[in-house]
Amino acid sequence: MIENFQGAMTALITPFKNGKIDEETYERLIKRQIKNGIDVVVPVGTTGESATLTHDEHKICIEIAVNACKGTGVKVLAGAGSNATHEAISIAQFAQSHGADGILSVAPYYNKPTQEGLYRHYKALANSVEIPVLLYNVPGRTGSDILPQTAIRIFKECENVIGIKEATGSIDRCVDILAHEPNILVISGDDAINYPILSNGGKGVISVTANLLPDKISELTHFALQNKFLEAKSINDELYDINKALFCESNPIPIKAAMYIVGLTPVLEYRLPLCEPSQENYKKLEEILNKYYIKGF
């Protein structure tokens, strides 16, 4: 079960066109990921603007991802997070019934549960499905922090909880978790520090940059998992500029702009309250993208 969710994973953007999901482009983007060595795709995570999708749109994205990956060996880790536990459970059960291989569930946002509340939330979620559950900790976005002892408690008490996507930006946090529970799956949620997390015992990445450069993120991750750390570090260093640029404004504003600039999406469209980047940052992205070879479809 854990082995299915190691490696290179992509936090997919959700392309829009005229206010609706651009389903054709979405499918093409997923097939491009498969073609370029990605192990797992992650539809409707926070990079997929899940907070502003309707429940029906959320389900459409999961179905498209499952159908696109069918028969390829690439797994689908479907986003199933909410600040209401019953909503997260509903999405998770839909994902399971429609063929997703696992779910990624972001910590409940805005309402700031206690550590006990987080434990109960994830226990209820894990008990509602049989497929693997990966916790997702990104306190800078949610306002709640799944502390190491809480993540480990959930991991030990819930058989299908396999690990945590750590996006605190803290290497110390990852060291802390693995020092106290070496069997938990720690997945990098910060592209700039993918290599340090992998070299410390992390087993994969869920990458924003992989939307653009799935081949490079795949190579980096696979080198690290094969203990070829010099090769992995070299790629991580090569990607440093683009990794930083893709967070010059709130994710997924820059990555969607970058995808449009290089021709991977036909229109640049967000759902409010997100909007296009500033002209200054758009130009910065254009300049940095000139340094990289972006594979097409």
**Residues belonging to the active site:** 136, 165
| Local structure of residue 269 (DSSP, 8 states) | -
| Local structure of residue 205 (DSSP, 8 states) | E
Give the pair of three-digit tokens for residue 190. Answer: 């910060």
In the chain the first and final C-alpha atoms are separated, in Å, by: 31
What φ, ψ does residue 42 adopt, rounded to 5°?
Answer: -120, 95
* CA 286/CA 232 separation, integer angstroms: 26
- Cα→Cα distances 25→32, 173, 207, Å: 10, 37, 19
| Local structure of residue 242 (DSSP, 8 states) | H
* CA 55/CA 276 separation, integer angstroms: 24
Residue showing tokens 């994830």:
122
Give the pair of three-digit tokens for residue 40. Answer: 């797992």
Residue 103, SS3 per DSSP: strand
CB neighbour list of residue 3: distance below 8 Å, 6 or more residues apart: none
Whether a cis peptide bond, with omega within 30° of 0, leads into 252 is yes
36 close to 218: Cβ distance less than 8 angstroms: yes
